[in-house]
Amino acid sequence: MSVFADVWQYLTDGSNWTGTGGILDYLVQQLLLTATALALAVAIGLPLAMWLGHIGRGGFLAINVSNVGRAIPTFALLALLVTAEWPGIATFGPFGRAGIATLIALTLFALPPIITNTYVAIREVNSEVKEAARGMGMTGWQQFRRVELPLATPLVAGGVRLALVQVWATATIAALVAGPGLGRIITDGFANSYYGKGIAGAVVVAVVAMVLEVLAVLAQRAIDPIPRGPQHRTDDALPQNALPTTT
Amino acid sequence: MPVTLLVSAAEPSCYNRTVNEWWCTAYLTDYRSELVDATVEHLLITISAVLLGIAIAFPLALLARRFVRLETGIMGASTALYTIPSLALFPLLVPFTGITATTVVLGLALYALTILVRSILDGLASVPDDVRESARGLGYGRASQLFRIELPLALPVMMGGLRVATVSTVALTTVGALVAHGGLGNLIADGVLTNFKAELMAACVLSVAIALLLDVLIVVTERLVTPWTRTRVRT
């Protein structure tokens, strides 16, 4: 299979890694984009879902936002945002319309896992523990800050982890609408029937996705404030079917 | 007759270059065959991928349940696979299956598989232990207990997984546009490329509609095959 030889050749040629439009250039773009979108989604979704979980309302919305997010193709939303007159900021950054459209789509798709997991995390804190906290005279804020939040942290972090995987995947798809990121190498390769290049791009994207996932799992374990035995790893704290809506 | 020609050319079509409206019924009628073809391809890809996913997920889940050592391996591998974005997974399959619909079906089946294996295992785990014990007490063998007691009782949870898998597969099929087999995704790609808003909107709406339709179909099927979940115990 000569395709594999092409892939190897593309990946081992140093000139493909450096310079404008090189792998590293796109990698940095995509990492920046991913970090920005994730930060935006956390800033919007986390407080909202924590508040809803604390007061115990809006559960239907918080749970179903994930189901709705799953039914809307990322590609479709990206395509609509890029083509729409609004938000038509053609001068925004080097990628113009596609850049801002990608950022909006990424943030929107990162919200469902964050909102659903955070809501469930806060909500599912043992009600006896909550009652005990109230019995000890804690105010609503104290109860949230000192009881619910520490207990919910692993699950909340799990939601952010799922969102990270989701955002990375969506950022790759941005290339289908001429957005920034590593996906460009894939789409360029396929558009020009240079499959070795396309597949090389895919290898880089897949490897980085797995590295990010491993780093996120480690971070999730590190920030868990409650010491747990080896048999109670934070993974077990994730709800069943805690899979990202992959794209 | 030049006069009538002129009139028909000036007929306002909501999808011509100058107007380019988002919502256009004239587009739906004029491009009907194109839309139908794309929808049919979309449905075929989605359904074959989910069926293939089920066909692989069942033996895998049963193996994972039988041999606990395998479970970590199977779950780990499928979760790792799930972190690969679809735009990267399809190219990785191309050396083996080429620029064909098979590439898309195989890739989507691998994603569906991850969800399905989990939900089958969760479903089987949701069967109460005393039910299992009663079945054994009644003389059910391993296989008949699985097929006649455990799997039926696991159906609600498994169907939940099937819904998630199906809905995400419909959405992911659009990415198949990369290898020119994306069903409605092909129209979306073309719509972006040529700035054809009516085409883009129609394809997006249709793909969400397919997802919702299949979801409803599964819910209805589930209700039909699990009549016992609706009988309330009277006190």
- pLDDT band at A237, cuts 50/70/90? very low
Dihedral class, residue A20 (left if φ above 0, else alpha if ψ from -120 to 50, else beta): beta
| Secondary structure (3-state) at A224 | coil
Contact A186 B114 (CB under 8 A): no
The tokens describing A57, both together, are: 């309302």
Tell whether A31 is covered by a domain.
no
Closest CB to B200: pick one of A83, A202, A246: A83
CATH assignment of the domain containing B57: 1.10.3720.10
- Domain range for B39 is 31-222
CB distance from B94 to chain A under 8 Å?
yes
CATH assignment of the domain containing A178: 1.10.3720.10
Contact B85 A209 (CB under 8 A): yes
Tell whether A168 is covered by a domain.
yes
Q: A80-84, A95-99, A111-115, B48-52: which range is least confident on average?
A: A95-99
Number of domains in chain B: 1
pLDDT at A13 over 50: yes
The tokens describing B113, both together, are: 């598989």
Tell whether the torsion through CA atoms of A177, A178, A183 and A186 is positive or negative. Answer: positive
Tell whether A209 is covered by a domain.
yes
Other CB atoms closer than 10 Å to residue A34's CB: what's the count? Answer: 25
Residue of B12 and A125 predicted with greater confidence: A125
pLDDT of residue A87: 58
- Domain range for A160 is 2-12+56-237
Closest CB to B195: pick one of A83, A240, A241: A83
Closest CB to B122: pick one of A4, A75, A240: A240
- pLDDT band at A243, cuts 50/70/90? low
pTM of the model: 0.85
pLDDT in tens, A29-62: 889 889 999 999 999 999 999 999 888 888 888 8
Contact A247 B85 (CB under 8 A): yes
How confident is the model over A113-118, as a mean pLDDT? 90
CA distance B231 to B235: 12
pLDDT in tens, B189-218: 998 888 888 888 999 999 999 999 999 999
Chain A residue nearest residue B173, CA to CA: A73
pLDDT at B68 over 80: yes
ipTM over 0.85: no
Tell whether B171 is covered by a domain.
yes
Contact B191 A82 (CB under 8 A): no
pLDDT of residue A238: 46
Number of domains in chain A: 1
Tell whether A17 is covered by a domain.
no
CB distance from A201 to chain B under 8 Å?
yes
CB distance from B27 to chain A under 8 Å?
no
Q: Which three-class secondary structure string do you get for chain B?
A: CHHHHHHHHHCCCCCCCCCCCCCCHHHHHHCHHHHHHHHHHHHHHHHHHHHHHHHHHHHHHHHHHHCHHHHHHHHHHHHHHHCCCHHHHHHHHHHHHCCCHHHHHHHHHHHHHHHHHHHHHHHHHCCCHHHHHHHHHCCCCHHHHHHHHHHHHHHHHHHHHHHHHHHHHHHHHHHHHHHCCCCHHHHHHHHHHHCCHHHHHHHHHHHHHHHHHHHHHHHHHHHHHCHHHHCCCCC
**Is the peptide bond preceding residue B128 cis, with omega within 30 degrees of 0?**
no
CB distance from A213 to chain B under 8 Å?
yes
CB distance from B193 to chain A under 8 Å?
no
Query: Comparing C-alpha atoms, which of A145, A143, A165, A141 is closest to residue A153?
Result: A145
pLDDT in tens, A168-204: 988 898 888 877 888 888 988 888 888 888 898 899 9
pLDDT at A236 over 80: no
CB distance from B206 to chain A under 8 Å?
no
Q: A21-25, B47-51, B108-112, B160-164: which range is least confident on average?
A: A21-25
Tell whether B3 is covered by a domain.
no
- pLDDT band at B43, cuts 50/70/90? very high
| Secondary structure (3-state) at A240 | coil
pLDDT at A239 over 90: no
Query: Comparing C-alpha atoms, which of B139, B127, B151 is closest to residue B57?
Result: B151
Residues of B in contact with A202 (CB under 8 A): 87-92
pLDDT of residue B195: 83
Sorted by sequence, the CB contacts under 8 Å of residue A213 that are 6+ apart come out as A161, A164, A165, B80, B83
Residues B62, B67, B72, CA angle at the centre, nearest 5°? 90
Contact B179, B99 (CB under 8 A): yes
pLDDT at A95 over 80: no
Residue-averaged pLDDT of chain B: 87
Sorted by sequence, the CB contacts under 8 Å of residue B48 that are 6+ apart come out as B105, B109
Dihedral class, residue A227 (left if φ above 0, else alpha if ψ from -120 to 50, else beta): beta
Contact A80 B79 (CB under 8 A): no
Residue of A139 and B230 predicted with greater confidence: A139
Tell whether A45 is covered by a domain.
no
pLDDT at B9 over 90: no
Tell whether A48 is covered by a domain.
no
Tell whether A199 is covered by a domain.
yes
Chain A residue nearest residue B82, CA to CA: A246
Tell whether A166 is covered by a domain.
yes
- pLDDT band at B75, cuts 50/70/90? confident
How confident is the model over A107-120, as a mean pLDDT? 90
